[in-house]
Chains A and B, each alone.
Chain A
Amino acid sequence: MSVATTAGPRPETDAGPRHAASDSGVGYPLTRASGLGLGLAMLWFSLLVLIPLTAVMVTASEAGWSGFWGTITNEQTAAAIRLTVGTALLVTLVNVVMGTAIAWVLVRDRFVGQRVLEILIDIPFALPTIVAGLVLLSLYGPKSPLGINVANTRPAVFLAFLFVTLPFVVRTVQPVLAELDREAEEAAASLGASRFTVFRRIVLPSITPAIAAGAALSFARGVSEYGSLVLLSGNLPHKTEVTSVRILSSIENDNLEGAAAVATILLVISLIVIVTVDILQRRLVRRG
């Protein structure tokens, strides 16, 4: 951990290189306060995250490698993992586009009902997921007033994921977009850049980290979703059963190791996706 010091107004000197604290990489000795802060953060993180995660992995390993491998290659489990991860990725992709578009509208346009929309965005997040499931069932179930029945089909899973993950990209992108330097966009325009080029080369690099953060959250939430889809998806093995449902049924059948094995594989996949998103994001920003 290095502590960045912010300098006051700098004199106009062309000579003398300046090092950003983050570039040096060498840590400063921690002060007492920051040492305490770091300790507290690590303790908190360990109690809430690291220890439970380790416990899951230990449980998963109890059945041995062959047990572990057997569980996750089980046809029904593998189908559930494919469906969950595939749908979560697809939903995340949709969110990246739609979430950015919604954030854009909320920040850049002024229209009647804006404040209302602003609040409505958070509803999928604020609603207990089972309530979300009920809402989806009554709207898109067998008795749909819209005449759309997706119950017991894969689109039901997609729809449920889409519903609960809607706010993530919107909420991460919105504040960043609001803080953007509009003059940089005007400068780009007067240098000859079309609206699309301005968006791609000036706006997008600035909001990419926020989009990536929202995408990671959205993916993670999708992978872990349970409440909103159990009612509508029907949990049909090989067809609409997702991993969280699969884990629950493993536990109900007293197969803790099996549940932990699936959990572990989900954990690894989520980690890979989040790291990939971060690498991708950095690359995009650097390319400009």
Chain B
Amino acid sequence: MSIEISHVSKRFGTFVALDDVSVSIPTGQLTALLGPSGGGKSTLLRIIAGLERADSGRVEIEGVDATNLPPQKRNVGFVFQHYAAFKHLTVRRNIAFGLEIRRRPKAEIRARVDELLALVHLEQFADRLPAQLSGGQRQRMALARALAVKPTVLLLDEPFGALDAKVRKELRDWLRRLHDEVHVTTVFVTHDQEEALEVADEIVVINEGRVEQVGSPDDLYDRPANDFVMRFLGPVTQLGDRLVRPHDLRITVGSAGPSDHAGVNGPASVTGRITRIVRVGFEVRVEVTTDDHVVTVTLPRSEFLELGLHTDAVVSVHQAAPARVAAGAA
């Protein structure tokens, strides 16, 4: 295990940012710290980097107790949401900074910086100042700067948060490919579940200063430990008294008979009237109002057309995939 966090707590005044957090982050993987804003994930990342000190608990990086090490001695690369560029230095000198601090020979620095400039595709911008770069370019520069010193771990704090949607998606794919190339243990903080699901090998869900669940994207999506994780990681709707994914539901025209799987967990099927139909790209979102609640179902357009659904039609809704968590359980 590359980063071992045990029983870490952190308060800011009366606000509890982290409450007895223990988590292990595996070597060589891309791990996402996912959670809502103010949930403590950035604080945890800053504690790993040594930019913040934990009130209690222990941080180990590659088997070395780093709890009391200053950031200078941890050999971590840190990438900030707002780039934290050295504004008065050119791109080349920004990237070279860590190597210059380490007093490496000039030729070695030059070679390493050239290599990194190529890695982040900024060769022709080497002599520009950060102010002359776009946001995405600045963040790639920051990433190269962090990688220059060959860090044990690379930490990214909402690295794409300040970028617009399209660039964010591009950089996300690029980060994944880069990681497959470089293989440095990487931890990144995000509040965007799609980003985490798409990029990460492993996801740590953090909420209100606690770890809710740790697992692979598949684990978390298909086997959420609780309602919070279920709600946070994808769309949910309520079927009877259960939380389910709207795309796991099937619609049949006409009301369902009373014999239809009425299990101990409540009805696996409900009957209602279609109150709203929204088409979103290739998907159709159908809202079915039953006696006491509204169920949202998403289905492919082809299936929607086949069924010939329209508002006010009476339909029954049931679950296609095996049941997950009952509401209120976990």
Q: Which A residues form the contact surface with B (CB < 8 A)? A: 9-14, 18, 20, 181, 183-184, 186-194, 197, 201-202, 205-206, 285-286, 288
State the Cβ distance, A129 to closest chain B Cβ, in Å.
37
Q: Which residues from chain A contact B267 at a C-beta distance below 8 Å?
A: none
| CB–CB A197/B101 < 8 A | yes
Assuming A20-B132, A184-B86, A190-B146, what are 5 further A-B pairs, CB within 8 angstroms?
A: A9-B164, A10-B134, A12-B166, A186-B51, A191-B98
Query: Which residue from chain B places its CB closest to the CB of A9 in the assembled complex?
Result: B164
Q: Which residues from chain B contact A20 at a C-beta distance below 8 Å?
A: 131-132
- Measured in the bound complex, the distance between the Cα atoms of B75 and A183 in whole Å is 17
Contact with A along B121-155 (1 / 0, CB 8 A): 10011000001101111000010011011000000
Query: Which residue from chain A places its CB closest to the CB of B149 in the assembled complex?
Result: A191
Q: Which residues from chain B contact A201 at a C-beta distance below 8 Å?
A: 86, 97
Q: Which residues from chain A contact B131 at a C-beta distance below 8 Å?
A: 20
Query: Which residue from chain B places its CB closest to the CB of A180 in the assembled complex?
Result: B87
| CB–CB A189/B88 < 8 A | no
Q: B84: CB under 8 A from chain A?
A: yes
- Measured in the bound complex, the distance between the Cα atoms of B87 and A45 in whole Å is 34
Q: Which B residues form the contact surface with A (CB < 8 A)? A: 49-51, 70-72, 74-78, 80, 82, 84-89, 93, 97-98, 101-102, 121, 124-125, 131-132, 134-137, 142, 145-146, 148-149, 164, 166-167, 170
Q: Which residues from chain B contact A188 at a C-beta distance below 8 Å?
A: 86, 97
- Measured in the bound complex, the distance between the Cα atoms of B88 and A206 in whole Å is 7
- Measured in the bound complex, the distance between the Cα atoms of B167 and A13 in whole Å is 10
Query: Mind listing 9 A-B residue pairs with CB under 8 Å?
Result: A183-B84, A184-B84, A186-B51, A186-B71, A186-B80, A190-B78, A190-B146, A191-B101, A191-B145
Contact of B88 among A13, A18, A194, A288 (CB under 8 A): A288
Q: Which residues from chain A contact B134 at a C-beta distance below 8 Å?
A: 10-13
Q: Which residues from chain A contact B51 at a C-beta distance below 8 Å?
A: 186, 189-190
| CB–CB B88/A187 < 8 A | no
Q: Which residues from chain B contact A286 at a C-beta distance below 8 Å?
A: 88
- Measured in the bound complex, the distance between the Cα atoms of B287 and A225 in whole Å is 81
Q: Which residues from chain A contact B97 at a C-beta distance below 8 Å?
A: 188, 191, 193, 201
- Measured in the bound complex, the distance between the Cα atoms of B87 and A183 in whole Å is 12
Q: Which residues from chain A contact B124 at a C-beta distance below 8 Å?
A: 14
- Measured in the bound complex, the distance between the Cα atoms of B134 and A189 in whole Å is 25
| CB–CB B88/A205 < 8 A | yes
State the Cβ distance, A193 to closest chain B Cβ, in Å.
5
- Measured in the bound complex, the distance between the Cα atoms of B124 and A201 in whole Å is 25
| CB–CB A190/B88 < 8 A | no
- Measured in the bound complex, the distance between the Cα atoms of B77 and A80 in whole Å is 58
Q: Which residues from chain A contact B71 at a C-beta distance below 8 Å?
A: 186, 189-190
State the Cβ distance, B144 to closest chain A Cβ, in Å.
12
State the Cβ distance, B151 to closest chain A Cβ, in Å.
9
Most buried by B among A13, A20, A183, A206: A183
Known: A10-B134, A12-B166, A12-B170. A190 touches B86 (CB 8 A): no
Q: Which residues from chain A contact B87 at a C-beta distance below 8 Å?
A: 181, 184, 206
State the Cβ distance, B98 to closest chain A Cβ, in Å.
4
> Which 4 A-B pairs have CB atoms at the shortest separation, nearest pair first?
A191-B98, A183-B84, A187-B84, A190-B78
Most buried by B among A11, A186, A197: A186
Query: Which residue from chain A places its CB closest to the CB of B100 in the assembled complex?
Result: A201
State the Cβ distance, A15 to closest chain B Cβ, in Å.
9
| CB–CB A192/B167 < 8 A | no
Q: Which residues from chain B contact A186 at a C-beta distance below 8 Å?
A: 51, 71, 78, 80, 84
Q: Which residues from chain B contact A192 at a C-beta distance below 8 Å?
A: 72, 75, 98, 101-102, 149
- Measured in the bound complex, the distance between the Cα atoms of B93 and A205 in whole Å is 14
- Measured in the bound complex, the distance between the Cα atoms of B146 and A88 in whole Å is 45
Q: Which residues from chain A contact B135 at a C-beta distance below 8 Å?
A: 9-10, 12
- Measured in the bound complex, the distance between the Cα atoms of B51 and A183 in whole Å is 10
Q: Which residues from chain A contact B72 at a C-beta distance below 8 Å?
A: 189-190, 192-194
State the Cβ distance, A5 to closest chain B Cβ, in Å.
15
State the Cβ distance, A280 to closest chain B Cβ, in Å.
15
Known: A187-B84, A202-B86, A206-B88. A12 touches B50 (CB 8 A): no
State the Cβ distance, B244 to closest chain A Cβ, in Å.
38
Query: Which residue from chain B places its CB closest to the CB of A15 in the assembled complex?
Result: B124
Q: Which residues from chain A contact B77 at a C-beta distance below 8 Å?
A: 190-191
| CB–CB B164/A285 < 8 A | no
Q: Which residues from chain A contact B98 at a C-beta distance below 8 Å?
A: 191-192
- Measured in the bound complex, the distance between the Cα atoms of B82 and A210 in whole Å is 24
- Measured in the bound complex, the distance between the Cα atoms of B142 and A183 in whole Å is 12
| CB–CB A187/B142 < 8 A | yes
- Measured in the bound complex, the distance between the Cα atoms of B134 and A10 in whole Å is 6
Q: Which residues from chain B contact A12 at a C-beta distance below 8 Å?
A: 134-137, 166-167, 170
Query: Which residue from chain A places its CB closest to the CB of B134 in the assembled complex?
Result: A10
State the Cβ distance, B146 to closest chain A Cβ, in Å.
8
